[in-house]
Amino acid sequence: MKFKTFIWFVGPSLFLMLLFIALPLYAVLMGSFQVTQPVMQTVEVESCSAGFLAQTCTTEVRTIPVLDEETGDMLTTTEWVGWLSYERVLEPQRAWAAITSLNYGALMQIDFWAALRFTLMFTFITLPLVIGVGLAIALAVNNAAKSIRGPIIFISLLPFIITPVIGSLSIYWLFVGDGILTRGIENLLDRDIAMFAQAWTIELLMLFYRVWHVAPFAFVIFYAGLQTVNQDTLESAIIDGASRWDRLKYVVIPHLMPLIVFIALIHLMDAYRVFDEIVGFRAEAHVTSLQYLTFNFLQPDDAGNRAFSRASASSMLTMVGIVILLIPLLRRTWRDHKGSSH
């Protein structure tokens, strides 16, 4: 295919990606070093109130925003502030003081570090669980009679296909104060429980939800992979006296290894973006993630202002995080790509 035809085919898609992904990225990078705020002026205001014989008057100095004379809008200036927004998000002094005094609680008081801790913990705990549970379901389905496989795949796909916010809500309603499972556990333990009153129970439910939501994806891919396991190799392994466990460990899992890497890659990307669960479980008071932090900065506050510079800084930090996480996996793919082409 000639280069010109190639550009005609790829052009529209490339244009959209440049306009809506690359350009915003650049804007965010620039925005994270700038602060836009209204121009303020100080004026002396004399305010008088009626009094007997003479008015009582007070003068005070007030800071008010400068208004545009024609439109009446507030004038704003944009300043280059360097790392200021990053400092506001990271709060390095407070964080360093907390680290040197080994005060874990104080470090977790800072939104960014608490969000970072949760996001990383969430990503690395769900990763092995998703792969393990997905593989277990795939092996079990592979073991089941052919006639029931279709319905089982149908049921398994439901948690994966369901809207994430609704999925977490459906679990929320089971565990809410008078939800059916809360009542059940209360009966068993003979004490009151509140699943959404402290951070660790919410985190536990979020981990459960994410594994429930993503395990079907891993299952479908592993199941497809299991259909292509070389039967001859399996049979020769049996002749060599390999036990069931040995066959799984030395034949099946090495065969599935590329798929495991693929799922790990996709799951790292998606779990790092954890966000919908926090909305669904209404966990923002107890647990937040990096994406939620940016979302929170972007939401208008009571005065209708959005903290754009801090949002830009926190989203740049989020991006640095995902790049660091993906480097080992990308290097592996790169090596495979080079290895296969030589």
Within 93-152, which residues bind another protein (CB under 8 A)?
136-137, 139-141, 143-144, 150, 152
- Interaction of residue 50 with another protein, rule CB under 8 A: no
- Interaction of residue 81 with another protein, rule CB under 8 A: no
Which residue pairs, CB below 8 angstroms and at least 24 apart, start in 145-148? Answer: none
Give min distance, CB of 109 to another protein, in A.
22
Name the helix (H) or strand (E) containing 321. helix 308-341
Residues contacting another protein: total by CB under 8 A: 96
Give min distance, CB of 211 to another protein, in A.
10
Give min distance, CB of 156 to another protein, in A.
6
If the CB atoms of residues 63 and 228 are measured against another protein, the closer one turns out to be 228
Return the range that interacts with another protein (CB under 8 A); candidates 80-88, 92-100, 102-110, 218-226. Answer: 218-226
- Interaction of residue 306 with another protein, rule CB under 8 A: yes
For the residues of 39-105, what is the DSSP string, one character each? Answer: -EEEEEEEEEE--SSS-EEEEEEEEEEPBPTTT-PBPEEEEE-TTHHHHHHH-HHHHHHHHHTT-HH
- Interaction of residue 8 with another protein, rule CB under 8 A: yes
215: phi > 0 → left, psi -120 to 50 → alpha, else beta; which? Answer: alpha
Site for another protein, residues 148 to 207, rule: CB under 8 A: 150, 152-159, 161-167, 169-171, 173-174, 176, 178-180, 183-184, 187
d(CA 19, CA 6): 19
106 burial class (0-12, 13-18, 19+ CB within 10 angstroms)? middle
Give min distance, CB of 64 to another protein, in A.
22
Give min distance, CB of 202 to another protein, in A.
16
If the CB atoms of residues 120 and 162 are measured against another protein, the closer one turns out to be 162
Site for another protein, residues 222 to 281, rule: CB under 8 A: 224-225, 228, 234-235, 238, 244, 259, 262-263, 269, 272-273, 275-276, 279
The total of other beta-carbon atoms located within 10 Å of residue 269's CB is: 14
**Pick from 132, 139, 280, 291: which is nearest to 214 by CA?**
132
If the CB atoms of residues 60 and 178 are measured against another protein, the closer one turns out to be 178
- Interaction of residue 67 with another protein, rule CB under 8 A: no
207 is written with which tokens? Answer: 């981990």
d(CA 183, CA 321): 40
